[in-house]
A and B are shown apart, each in its own frame.
Chain A
């Protein structure tokens, strides 16, 4: 692949020449290196005379750089310019590719691009899978939009290979779409995802990646051609024209528009009613005017022509009234009320269209428009040509914005209103340091002059004409305008480190606030005012804490969608068909949890299909539907997130698991073991019922992974299974991971915190409930007909040095989700919200300790890790049983 080497080296050369200052000696040295690298290239595929030219050019460049570095040239400028020429010559001969690489989007742009499409693979494959299932066009439509967006952006960022891939997918979607193509589409989507990943790693896509992708795809004989990234035929084609994207009024925007319009219409209605009741003043008319004006602007922005025309006429009428050239009377009110009603109907129509996808019959406008026009006494100019209004160009940014807004409007053939959520081009350019503010002002002035002469020119055009910016910069800036629009909407992207930082700070705040409330000076203070302030502080702290917690919440959907894919692929592989159903994908859970949920879910899904769902023939034989059903569900309940995976397969067989558990020495018999206790054995490392091992999943390892992860995230597992009807595995996690609800207990003079999540109940220890086993070495506690192993926390934690007050001791029944044990503590001190603090890494993981927390008094308390503790006791317990 000599082309590949060429391209890499040349890209490097290109970078050196185009990005760096040629008159800098370091640049020159690295360029020299790059030049000499080129000399080593394989040049088999070039004619001899061209090779000769290249070699000569390299030598000249080499000599020139030597001279430059040693400062032995007469005219540096000339020499440097010549150097640039040499590189251009060489790269021209070998292929134009390196020039397209010369423009390297900066890291921020790439990151923004990646962040935008972080869920692309999940989303796209989700759509393909849904389409494969129901064949509905809407999924393909959504996929097409998705791909189109990426294609456009890729074009703008000059990620040519990415663009080509998207382009090909689009072709397939448009022309040769068959159900059987789903697999190929998925492969291609994976490939695109691969490109994203490599972008993330490298910050820039390498040419080699594209070339290899092309080959791989071809070898798998896709039904469509993936372009061969041959350098001679510079893949720099028409699809670039797709960027920037055409404006599409998507559903979200329309519904936002409707919401906003409704608000303004209310204002208008209130104003009209006031007018009608003769309670109106100029302010009322102004308000109504502004409301229509805003709606008009929005409608224009959304290309909703009818809405725009209507509001425009209403605005004219009110404007006339405002100026005093018209006195409003009842006949006008009638027309305005009619306008309002009609507009409401239009909005209803739009809403309906959004829901059904069909545009209903719209009310007739011409008559109303005519009425409005006559009433206002203005033979209104058509909207599109409405003069921009005179604006003094000044350095004042506000005015700049207005002028620019006007310009923007002209650019989009929209009304004169500056769409509120679009940043003026001038501002974008100045912000991006592409041009100094003075230049923008000058250009705006020029634009103003020209428009007076009747010439309409866009600001961007003027700047390009004057050579202030390049076309490319203009495109980037135009895209920036759009990004600006997105950012100013209801969401914004924040670096996760900021959120983490905030979370930590809030943790401190909670501690400080706890300390304050614990202070005896404050608690015992007679001042009522102080008490009020304290409770206020507590409330505010809690609100902030909740808000910050919610900041970290993201929908679980992307992970679910990945599982859909896993289920499908596995189903195809082992020939078990299963409908995969997702519910509650919109449930929000902590981001760190979402990030780690993938692995365990993969295991559970695989298990459900491999072990749970029977072969189609077997299913029919037992009277089930041929296709199995796997349901993934997420929901919130009482401060916890539940993730459930349910299959309608054959269920767990108690006798098989019990036999295996006995064989492994975990138990001697299953007397007194509940189903749930039996099921919990499947989470033991290496526990696998021999008959069920396949090459896809051998129960044991996978389930062990699930258990570990769930424990790590302080969650619990519940299994519910009925033989012959199916299995449900529930993973239950606390909503937030940083702040927990804990029970403070005292053990040998020290305070420990037990997460309330793991606690069943607590009770006073009475002698008669305890049975001694093994000569007093072990104890069993009778609790609700169960004999639970009882451990003293002081023994588990090696704290022998204070005498216990036996009369006061308490037992806390805790559970790791599978197994219940009783813990003996000296006393229960109370319940509190505590902020989890990791212990400094210099201490290794301590069994039974999950972390620490700082109390109101500033002391460190250790937080008990129940799962770890139960694991610690397991060996001892087995001996008893």
Chain B
């Protein structure tokens, strides 16, 4: 299979990996299916009381107490510009670890529903689509995989919550 030239080095790493398939945690957001590399996922918890924090961007819903640690949680819907919905019984927080420089930060992501852990063969992963000069930012998409007639957007979590976005957080405050 011919490999498209891609600037996403993570994808290149992904393809260069030893195994022929990688594990992804898939979850639903606004009827779309997304996937996160399982290695960046620390745990999944039910939605819990979230304490709002003043002066932060609206995609940060607040902070939670995860066994004595205080972590911020990101409303992924808001982050992706989707409409807000009420939390349901299926709403979950995926706790991820992201790399920001030398630091490893821990954050929660609020998603509509967690589906399953899927093995996705490298060969099934396509590079991220380009929408030309449209307004849709695809920089945080690692690749796209097609599974049983469903398209799964694989996220590069470090880019979703990249340092740039975090500084944006502080800029907004000032």
A860 pairs with B54, CB closer than 8 A: no
Tell whether A838 is near chain B: CB-to-CB under 8 Å: yes
Chain B residues near A839: list those with CB within 8 A: 53, 63, 70, 72
- Counting chain B CB atoms within 10 Å of each CB, the highest count among A799, A841, A844, A848 belongs to A844
Q: Which of B60-74 contact A (CB under 8 A)?
A: 60, 62-65, 68-72
Give the distance in Å from the alpha carbon of A837 to the alpha carbon of B51 in the complex: 14
B106 pairs with A846, CB closer than 8 A: no
Q: Which of A853-868 contact B (CB under 8 A)?
A: 854, 858-862
Contact for B65 among A796, A841, A844, A854, CB less than 8 A? A854
Give the distance in Å from the alpha carbon of A348 to the alpha carbon of B72 in the complex: 66
Give the distance in Å from the alpha carbon of A844 to the alpha carbon of B72 in the complex: 11
Tell whether A849 is near chain B: CB-to-CB under 8 Å: yes
A797 pairs with B70, CB closer than 8 A: no
CB distance from B94 to the nearest CB of A (A): 15
A848 pairs with B71, CB closer than 8 A: no
B70 pairs with A860, CB closer than 8 A: yes
Chain B residues near A750: list those with CB within 8 A: 51-52
By size class, the interface of chain B is 20 to 34
Give the distance in Å from the alpha carbon of A750 to the alpha carbon of B52 in the complex: 8
CB contact under 8 A between A852 and B100, given known A860-B65, A861-B51: no
Number of A-B residue pairs at CB separation under 8 A: 84
Tell whether B30 is near chain A: CB-to-CB under 8 Å: no
Chain A residues near B161: list those with CB within 8 A: 842
Contact for B106 among A796, A797, A798, A840, CB less than 8 A? A840
A844 pairs with B169, CB closer than 8 A: yes
Give the distance in Å from the alpha carbon of A489 to the alpha carbon of B103 in the complex: 42
A859 pairs with B51, CB closer than 8 A: yes
Q: Which of B28-77 contact A (CB under 8 A)?
A: 49, 51-56, 60, 62-65, 68-72
Chain B residues near A724: list those with CB within 8 A: none
Give the distance in Å from the alpha carbon of A859 to the alpha carbon of B100 in the complex: 27
Q: Which residue of B lies closest to A852 (CB)?
A: B70
Give a binary string over A821-855; 1 marks a CB under 8 Å from any B CB, 0 the rest: 00000000000000001111111111111001010
Chain B residues near A798: list those with CB within 8 A: 54-55
Give the distance in Å from the alpha carbon of A842 to the alpha carbon of B173 in the complex: 14
Give the distance in Å from the alpha carbon of A454 to the alpha carbon of B63 in the complex: 79
Give the distance in Å from the alpha carbon of A294 to the alpha carbon of B69 in the complex: 53
Q: Which residue of A lies closest to B55 (CB)?
A: A846
CB distance from A251 to the nearest CB of B (A): 47
Contact for B105 among A796, A799, A840, CB less than 8 A? A840
A860 pairs with B51, CB closer than 8 A: yes
CB contact under 8 A between A860 and B63, given known A842-B107, A843-B169: yes
A844 pairs with B105, CB closer than 8 A: no
Chain B residues near A847: list those with CB within 8 A: 55, 173
Tell whether A675 is near chain B: CB-to-CB under 8 Å: no
Tell whether A508 is near chain B: CB-to-CB under 8 Å: yes
Q: Which residue of B lies closest to A797 (CB)?
A: B54
Q: Which residue of B lies closest to A801 (CB)?
A: B52
A841 pairs with B53, CB closer than 8 A: no
- Counting chain A CB atoms within 10 Å of each CB, the highest count among B54, B100, B106 belongs to B54
Q: Which residue of B lies closest to A839 (CB)?
A: B70
A796 pairs with B173, CB closer than 8 A: no
A859 pairs with B65, CB closer than 8 A: yes
Q: Which of A504-527 contact B (CB under 8 A)?
A: 507-508, 511
Give the distance in Å from the alpha carbon of A799 to the alpha carbon of B68 in the complex: 26
A849 pairs with B166, CB closer than 8 A: no
A840 pairs with B64, CB closer than 8 A: no
- Counting chain A CB atoms within 10 Å of each CB, the highest count among B62, B70, B166, B169 belongs to B70
CB distance from A744 to the nearest CB of B (A): 13
CB distance from A509 to the nearest CB of B (A): 10
Give the distance in Å from the alpha carbon of A511 to the alpha carbon of B69 in the complex: 12
A842 pairs with B65, CB closer than 8 A: no
A799 pairs with B52, CB closer than 8 A: yes
Tell whether B170 is near chain A: CB-to-CB under 8 Å: yes
Contact for A843 among B60, B64, B68, CB less than 8 A? B60
Q: Which of A489-514 contact B (CB under 8 A)?
A: 507-508, 511
A508 pairs with B68, CB closer than 8 A: yes
Give the distance in Å from the alpha carbon of A358 to the alpha carbon of B51 in the complex: 69
Chain A residues near B49: list those with CB within 8 A: 859-860
Give the distance in Å from the alpha carbon of A840 to the alpha carbon of B106 in the complex: 7
Q: Which residue of A lies closest to B171 (CB)?
A: A844
A844 pairs with B53, CB closer than 8 A: no
Chain B residues near A838: list those with CB within 8 A: 70
Chain B residues near A843: list those with CB within 8 A: 53, 56, 60, 63, 72, 169
Give the distance in Å from the alpha carbon of A861 to the alpha carbon of B49 in the complex: 11
The interface on chain A, measured as residues whose beta carbon lies within 8 A of the other chain's beta carbons, has a size of 28
Q: Which of B99-140 contact A (CB under 8 A)?
A: 100, 103, 105-107
Chain A residues near B106: list those with CB within 8 A: 840, 842
Chain A residues near B54: list those with CB within 8 A: 796-799, 846, 848-849
Chain B residues near A859: list those with CB within 8 A: 49, 51, 65
CB contact under 8 A between A860 and B173, given known A839-B70, A842-B107, A847-B55: no
Give the distance in Å from the alpha carbon of A843 to the alpha carbon of B61 in the complex: 12
A837 pairs with B70, CB closer than 8 A: yes
A862 pairs with B53, CB closer than 8 A: yes
B52 pairs with A860, CB closer than 8 A: no
Give the distance in Å from the alpha carbon of A797 to the alpha carbon of B53 in the complex: 8
Q: Which of A784-836 contact B (CB under 8 A)?
A: 796-799
Give the distance in Å from the alpha carbon of A839 to the alpha carbon of B69 in the complex: 8
Give the distance in Å from the alpha carbon of A511 to the alpha carbon of B65 in the complex: 12
CB distance from A595 to the nearest CB of B (A): 22
Q: Which residue of B lies closest to A512 (CB)?
A: B68
CB contact under 8 A between A842 and B53, given known A852-B63, A860-B64: no
B70 pairs with A848, CB closer than 8 A: no
B69 pairs with A840, CB closer than 8 A: yes
B55 pairs with A848, CB closer than 8 A: yes
B72 pairs with A840, CB closer than 8 A: yes
Give the distance in Å from the alpha carbon of A797 to the alpha carbon of B52 in the complex: 10
CB contact under 8 A between A846 and B56, given known A750-B51, A859-B51: yes
A844 pairs with B170, CB closer than 8 A: yes
Contact for B103 among A841, A846, A848, CB less than 8 A? A841
B100 pairs with A842, CB closer than 8 A: yes
A849 pairs with B53, CB closer than 8 A: yes
B70 pairs with A854, CB closer than 8 A: yes
A840 pairs with B55, CB closer than 8 A: no
Chain B residues near A854: list those with CB within 8 A: 65, 68, 70
Chain A residues near B169: list those with CB within 8 A: 843-844
Give the distance in Å from the alpha carbon of A160 to the alpha carbon of B14 in the complex: 56
B166 pairs with A842, CB closer than 8 A: yes
Chain A residues near B105: list those with CB within 8 A: 840-842
B68 pairs with A840, CB closer than 8 A: no
CB contact under 8 A between A844 and B51, given known A852-B70, A860-B65: no
Q: Which residue of B lies closest to A507 (CB)?
A: B68
Give the distance in Å from the alpha carbon of A829 to the alpha carbon of B102 in the complex: 41
- Counting chain A CB atoms within 10 Å of each CB, the highest count among B52, B62, B166 belongs to B52
Chain A residues near B65: list those with CB within 8 A: 854, 858-860
Chain A residues near B166: list those with CB within 8 A: 842, 844
CB distance from B148 to the nearest CB of A (A): 35
Q: Which residue of B lies closest to A504 (CB)?
A: B68
CB distance from A253 to the nearest CB of B (A): 45
Q: Which residue of A lies closest to B68 (CB)?
A: A508
Q: Which residue of A lies closest to B49 (CB)?
A: A859
CB distance from A450 to the nearest CB of B (A): 62
Give the distance in Å from the alpha carbon of A248 to the alpha carbon of B2 in the complex: 82
Chain B residues near A852: list those with CB within 8 A: 51, 63, 70
List 26 interface pairs A-B (beta carbons < 8 Å), by A numbering: A507-B68, A839-B53, A839-B70, A840-B63, A840-B69, A840-B70, A840-B105, A840-B107, A842-B72, A842-B107, A842-B161, A842-B166, A843-B60, A843-B63, A844-B167, A844-B169, A846-B55, A848-B55, A849-B54, A852-B63, A858-B65, A860-B49, A860-B51, A860-B63, A860-B64, A862-B51
Given contacts A842-B161, A859-B51, 15 further A-B contacts (CB under 8 A): A750-B51, A799-B54, A842-B72, A842-B100, A843-B72, A843-B169, A844-B166, A845-B170, A846-B56, A847-B173, A859-B65, A860-B49, A860-B62, A860-B63, A861-B51
